[in-house]
Chain A
Amino acid sequence: MNLKELAEQISARFLEQGVKVPASEIEQRLHSLFYDFKVPIEEATRSVVSYYSKLHPKQESASATEVSYTKITDISAEDKWINLRARVVQLWEPNSPSIAQVGLLGDETGTIKFTSWSNANLPILKDGQSYSVRNVVTKSWQGRFSVSLNKASEIVPLDEEVAVGRAEEEIAGAIIDVQSGSGLIKRCPECSRVVVKGYCAEHGKVSGVYDLRIKGVLDNGEVVTDVLFNRELTERLTGITLAQAKEMAMEALDQNVVADAMKAVIIGRYYVVRGNKTPRWLLITDFKEPAQIKEEDIGTILERAQELL
Chain B
Amino acid sequence: MSLRQREVARRLFAKELNESTLFYKEHEDTYAPQYLLTPTGAKCNRVFVVGTLTEKENVGVDSDYWRARIADPTGVFPIYAGQYQQQAVTQLSAIEVPAFVAVIGKLNVFHANDGPVKVSIRPEFINVVDSETRNRWVLETAEKTLARIDRLRRDGEDVAKARDYYGTDASLYVGVVIEAVKALKKEYET
Residues on A lying within 8 angstroms of B by beta carbon are 142-143, 174, 176-177, 217, 219, 221-224, 263-264, 267-270, 290, 292-295, 297-298, 301-302, 304-306, 308-309
Per the bound structure, the CA–CA distance linking A143 and B6 in Å amounts to: 12
Report whether A263 and B125 are in contact in the complex, using a CB–CB cutoff of 8 Å: yes
Report whether A219 and B9 are in contact in the complex, using a CB–CB cutoff of 8 Å: yes
Q: How far apart are B133's CB and chain A's nearest CB, in angstroms?
A: 6
Partner of B188, one of A290, A295, A304, A305: A295
Closest-by-CB residue of B relative to A260 is: B87
From known contacts A174-B48, A298-B185, A309-B171, infer whether A293 and B149 are also in contact, taking CB-CB under 8 Å.
no
Report whether B104 and A177 are in contact in the complex, using a CB–CB cutoff of 8 Å: yes
Q: How far apart are B162's CB and chain A's nearest CB, in angstroms?
A: 16
Report whether A302 and B135 are in contact in the complex, using a CB–CB cutoff of 8 Å: no
Report whether B174 and A293 are in contact in the complex, using a CB–CB cutoff of 8 Å: no
Partner of B5, one of A142, A217, A308: A142
Chain A residues with Cβ below 8 Å from B7 are: 224
Report whether A302 and B133 are in contact in the complex, using a CB–CB cutoff of 8 Å: no
Report whether B132 and A301 are in contact in the complex, using a CB–CB cutoff of 8 Å: no
Report whether A305 and B178 are in contact in the complex, using a CB–CB cutoff of 8 Å: yes
Residues on B lying within 8 angstroms of A by beta carbon are 1, 3, 5-11, 48, 50, 101-104, 124-125, 127, 129, 132-133, 135-137, 139-140, 142-144, 146, 149-150, 170-171, 174, 177-178, 181-182, 184-185, 188-190
Q: How far apart are A18's CB and chain B's nearest CB, in angstroms?
A: 48
The listed residue with most B CB atoms (<10 A of its CB), out of A143, A174, A267, is A174
Q: How far apart are B79's CB and chain A's nearest CB, in angstroms?
A: 14
Query: Which 4 A-B pairs have CB atoms at the shortest separation, nearest pair first?
Result: A268-B102, A268-B127, A221-B11, A176-B104
Report whether A302 and B8 are in contact in the complex, using a CB–CB cutoff of 8 Å: no
Per the bound structure, the CA–CA distance linking A107 and B101 in Å amounts to: 44
Closest-by-CB residue of A relative to B149 is: A308
- What would be 10 A-B contacts, judged by CB atoms less than 8 Å apart? A219-B9, A223-B8, A224-B8, A264-B127, A267-B102, A268-B104, A295-B189, A298-B139, A301-B181, A305-B146
Chain B residues with Cβ below 8 Å from A295 are: 185, 188-190
Report whether B181 and A268 are in contact in the complex, using a CB–CB cutoff of 8 Å: no
From known contacts A142-B3, A308-B174, infer whether A293 and B139 are also in contact, taking CB-CB under 8 Å.
yes
Q: How far apart are B124's CB and chain A's nearest CB, in angstroms?
A: 8
Per the bound structure, the CA–CA distance linking A304 and B139 in Å amounts to: 12
Per the bound structure, the CA–CA distance linking A268 and B101 in Å amounts to: 8
Chain A residues with Cβ below 8 Å from B48 are: 174, 176, 219, 221, 268
Per the bound structure, the CA–CA distance linking A222 and B171 in Å amounts to: 23
Chain A residues with Cβ below 8 Å from B50 are: 268
Report whether B6 and A301 are in contact in the complex, using a CB–CB cutoff of 8 Å: no
Per the bound structure, the CA–CA distance linking A223 and B127 in Å amounts to: 22
From known contacts A221-B48, A224-B6, A267-B127, infer whether A308 and B185 are also in contact, taking CB-CB under 8 Å.
no
Per the bound structure, the CA–CA distance linking A138 and B6 in Å amounts to: 24
Q: How far apart are A296's CB and chain B's nearest CB, in angstroms?
A: 9
Partner of A143, one of B5, B135, B137: B5
Report whether B8 and A219 are in contact in the complex, using a CB–CB cutoff of 8 Å: yes
The listed residue with most B CB atoms (<10 A of its CB), out of A176, A177, A270, A293, is A176
Report whether A302 and B127 are in contact in the complex, using a CB–CB cutoff of 8 Å: no
Per the bound structure, the CA–CA distance linking A99 and B137 in Å amounts to: 46
Report whether A176 and B177 are in contact in the complex, using a CB–CB cutoff of 8 Å: no
From known contacts A267-B127, A268-B104, A269-B133, infer whether A305 and B177 are also in contact, taking CB-CB under 8 Å.
yes
Q: How far apart are A262's CB and chain B's nearest CB, in angstroms?
A: 11
Per the bound structure, the CA–CA distance linking A268 and B6 in Å amounts to: 17
From known contacts A217-B6, A224-B6, A267-B104, infer whether A177 and B140 are also in contact, taking CB-CB under 8 Å.
no
Chain B residues with Cβ below 8 Å from A270 are: 133, 136, 140
Q: How far apart are A252's CB and chain B's nearest CB, in angstroms?
A: 15
Report whether A298 and B136 are in contact in the complex, using a CB–CB cutoff of 8 Å: no
Per the bound structure, the CA–CA distance linking A176 and B7 in Å amounts to: 11
Chain A residues with Cβ below 8 Å from B104 are: 176-177, 267-268
Per the bound structure, the CA–CA distance linking A270 and B48 in Å amounts to: 12
Q: How far apart are B46's CB and chain A's nearest CB, in angstroms?
A: 8
Closest-by-CB residue of A relative to B135 is: A293
Chain B residues with Cβ below 8 Å from A290 are: 136
Closest-by-CB residue of A relative to B103 is: A268
Q: How far apart are A153's CB and chain B's nearest CB, in angstroms?
A: 26
Closest-by-CB residue of B relative to A302 is: B181
Report whether B136 and A293 are in contact in the complex, using a CB–CB cutoff of 8 Å: yes
Per the bound structure, the CA–CA distance linking A269 and B136 in Å amounts to: 10
Report whether A301 and B142 are in contact in the complex, using a CB–CB cutoff of 8 Å: yes
Report whether A301 and B177 are in contact in the complex, using a CB–CB cutoff of 8 Å: yes
Chain B residues with Cβ below 8 Å from A308 are: 146, 149-150, 170, 174
